[in-house]
Chains A and B, each alone.
Chain A
Amino acid sequence: EVQMVESGGGLVQPGRSLRLSCAASGFTFDDYAMHWVRQAPGKGLEWVSGISWNSGSTGYADSVKGRFTISRDNARNSLYLQMNSLTTEDTALYYCTKAPNLANWGQGTLVTVSS
């Protein structure tokens, strides 16, 4: 069974950093691109970032470009999102999801940016 388990969320002050992790199982991790999608409380879905199977290609939403960095460790079947210079606008539930077509999702990890 395909499974993604996100972790690393929590309460953080504006301007600080946080690193999210996603542990994947049930599929050959290094065969697939991976993505992060977030959802602010009561709001819609926002694609955040994606990374190719070999880390050769990455993409970012305009709202996080230059502040967030996506990475992966295929040996550990893990996906990461390094989030720097956090603002209150980054408060959201962050989902890890698998390409193609984002057919499989984790349950998310909540990031709250507040002083």
Chain B
Amino acid sequence: AIQMTQSPSSLSASVGDRVTITCRASQDIRNNLGWYHQKPGKAPKLLIYAASNLQSGVPSRFSGSGSGTDFTLTISSLQPEDFATYYCLQDYNYPWTFGQGTKVEI
């Protein structure tokens, strides 16, 4: 199975900060990567699909980049509602695999 290594596992940031989260795949997954965030007690929400495509309705401060094995999620200016846990997911082949998550805290 493809392993997804996400870093950091947690980070502390302030409103207005630029935040970057990375995911590394154990093999080439082309651009078959999505980013999600999840708030406590809620279902995950899709932010980015196909590595760099912003999901409809998601604010433009979120962006994704990368292909092959290295991927990045960037939040250009952190807002209070962005404090959550972020996950990457490879959907290149079965079994799909999530990164272990990055908790973004104040």
B106 within 8 Å of A by Cβ? Answer: no
Interface string of A80-105 (1 = CB under 8 A from B): 00000000000000010000111101
CB distance from A33 to the nearest CB of B (A): 10
CB distance from A35 to the nearest CB of B (A): 8
A44 touches B55 (CB 8 A): no
Interface string of B76-105 (1 = CB under 8 A from A): 000000000101010100111111110000
Interface string of B18-45 (1 = CB under 8 A from A): 0000000000000000101010000111
B94 touches A60 (CB 8 A): yes
Across the interface, which residues of B come within 8 angstroms of A35, CB to CB? 96
Closest A residue by C-beta to B103: A44
Across the interface, which residues of A come within 8 angstroms of B38, CB to CB? 45
B87 touches A60 (CB 8 A): no
Task: Please count how many residues in chain A sit with their CB below 8 Å of the partner chain's CB atoms.
Answer: 20
Across the interface, which residues of A come within 8 angstroms of B97, CB to CB? 47
Interface string of A46-75 (1 = CB under 8 A from B): 110010000000011110000000000000
CB distance from A26 to the nearest CB of B (A): 15
B43 touches A108 (CB 8 A): yes
> Which residues of chain B have a CB within 8 Å of any CB of chain A?
1, 34, 36, 38, 43-46, 49-50, 55, 85, 87, 89, 91, 94-101
